[in-house]
Amino acid sequence: MRRREFMKRTNLAGAGLALGRSQSYATTAQGKDWQENAKIENIIVLFVDQQRMDCLGCYGNPVVQTPNIDRLAQNGIRFNNAFAPTAVCTPARTSLQTGRWAHKTGVMHNTAWGSLTGGVKDPPPSTQFFSDSLSEINWKLAHIGKWHVGTEKNKPTAHGYDDLPYYPDYGYPANHPHYLAHLKKHGVSSFKLLSEKRDPSGEILYSGIPEGQRSASIPVYLADQTVDIIKRYSGSERPFFVSCNFWGPHEPYRIPKEYYDMYKSENIEPWPNFDCSLADKPDMIKRYGEYWHTGWFDKKVLSGLIAEYYGYITLIDEEIGRILKTLEEAGELDSTLIIYSADHGSTVGSYRMWAKGFGMYDCVTRIPLIISHSSIQPGVSDTFVSLLDFAPTFWEIAGCDVPEGVDGNSLLPLLYGSENRFSDEFIITEAFGHQVPFWQRMVRTQHSKFVFSPAGKDEFYDLDSDPWETKNVIGKIDRKTLNRHKEIFFQWMEDNNDPIFRWCTRMIGGDVYKGKKDSFIY
């Protein structure tokens, strides 16, 4: 069921849940249909990997320097409540390409883990990618960098993209022939680290400094390809879609020395949820730090790792600036819709965890999203959106029909203020674990969050008093408030054929779902 119909059925305001409404950004003065305001001829997507929303200047971070992304935000719409529908690389990227929930495509884990953890490696053959449609109507399509959507039978060229370097699975290109040629061009014979930061056992690599100057780095390598493609595509009568997909700032942070040392750890405080008590969290959260060997982390170690994370972000920001400059010099800036976003966030030591895959916390599920075009009036939106909405947006820009069964909505009416298909009251996301299965579901509002874990402890957070999600108040929240969240949750599960729907109604809320609120006790 599409989100608009779901909102009508849940009737959140009528249910009495006082969640509050957000201040929306300034829209076009007349509120006309987007088609009358926009002249979108091309699309550029600048996509990063494992980027925390709170680690960009335009989102309020006082330390990290991201002037190019910040400038993009000043000229576009910055979304405060964008989320990954599933906060792991492959399912998130598959949702972006198809507009479908992970539990519907079956792609619930990263490609390498897919068939080992209860999912599949590839979506069903009948699943349509937005690029399939754009290719059919003669768009030029380029996917540069990380793909991580299924096996080789679903590589970019199988879905209409031009034949460019392809990086199987996670695809980090350290030994890819195309990247090795780039290294040799810049005086480096192979990719190797001159220094490394590992855990005391030496098993886990957290960061390192590669051989070579900045020009030999992987972000520069990807930006070089993107610049070349923009120059090649510009001036053509055919519209183009170009997606530049960085591997950073995903750990390990392998970046040139000038960026590795750019930020001083003594100027960086660890996250407030770094060493919070985990006694009220699911056991899996407690154990994920063991998997990543984070027991040796103290505030000094973590501040140093955050500094390196910031250096990686700044390096990518500089390359984004070069891409945007090329677009402007090619005369395509005003006609191109520009999107900056990420597949998911990252813990970077929050809850003594590393990477992502477990926990429905904002540091992992919440993503940056900035959309810019000359016809869009700049501003800020608190409306809840997700990566599911990208594919319908691209289909609508291209004038294509949205396939049946797509779960997202086009963002264009929202950007131009002509129709509200979205909720500024709540969003639902799902999780399936990472290296091992661990299913969770989340109902996130402007002020609160309910997380259901079939195999662990449920969680509830009051985000007004506890924005860092340190205190699970599931046993203290009043029953009426909790039940309202569960009503939203159960309705969504039924409408979307969630495979754990029957389990949930029996386990935590059959009476709530059936409307027998007075007889329900948590």
3-state secondary structure of 431: strand
pLDDT at 12: 43
Question: Is 19 inside any structural domain?
Answer: no
Question: Is 518 inside any structural domain?
Answer: no
Question: Is 130 inside any structural domain?
Answer: yes
Question: Is 3 inside any structural domain?
Answer: no
Q: Helix 218-233 and helix 177-185: axis angle, to 10°?
A: 100
- CA distances (Å), 310 to each of 7, 53, 174, in order? 38, 12, 21
- Closest of 312, 393, 324, 396 to residue 348, by C-alpha: 312
Expressed in angstroms, the distance from the first to the final Cα of the chain is: 29
C-alpha to C-alpha distance for 93 and 87, rounded to whole angstroms: 10
- CA distances (Å), 182 to each of 224, 232, 358, 396, in order? 10, 19, 36, 37
- CA distances (Å), 377 to each of 50, 306, 335, 463, in order? 28, 34, 15, 30
Question: Is 503 inside any structural domain?
Answer: no
Domains: count for the chain: 1
pLDDT at 263: 98
Domain hosting 229: range is 30-424
Question: Is 469 inside any structural domain?
Answer: no
Q: Which helix (H) or strand (E) holds 80?
A: strand 76-83
C-alpha to C-alpha distance for 448 and 468, rounded to whole angstroms: 12
Question: Is 468 inside any structural domain?
Answer: no
Q: What are the tokens at 422?
A: 């979205």
Q: What are the tokens at 443?
A: 């109902």
In CATH, what number is assigned to the domain containing residue 213?
3.40.720.10
Q: What is the dihedral of CA 308, 311, 313, 316, to 10 degrees?
A: -130
- Closest of 171, 248, 182, 190 to residue 221, by C-alpha: 182
Q: In what order do the strands lie in the sheet with 42-48?
A: 140-145, 240-245, 42-48, 336-342, 366-372, 76-83, 379-386
What are 442's strand-pairing partners? 429, 451
Question: Is 519 inside any structural domain?
Answer: no
pLDDT at 419: 58
Q: Contact at 8 Å (CB) between 90 and 150? A: yes
pLDDT at 35: 63
Tens of each residue's pLDDT in the chain, 522 residues: 454 454 444 444 333 333 322 333 333 333 346 566 678 999 999 999 999 999 999 999 999 999 999 999 999 999 999 999 999 999 999 999 999 999 999 999 988 776 777 789 999 999 999 999 999 999 999 999 999 999 999 999 999 999 999 999 999 999 999 999 999 999 999 999 999 999 999 999 999 999 999 999 999 999 999 999 999 999 889 999 999 999 999 999 999 999 999 999 999 999 999 999 999 999 999 999 999 999 999 999 999 999 999 999 999 999 999 999 999 999 999 999 999 999 999 999 999 999 998 899 999 999 999 999 999 999 999 999 999 999 999 999 999 999 999 999 999 989 987 656 777 789 999 999 888 888 999 999 999 999 999 888 999 999 999 999 999 999 999 989 998 998 898 889 989 999 888 777 776 665 565 554 443 333
pLDDT at 503: 79
Amino acid at 319: E
Pair type for strands 205-210 and 253-254: parallel
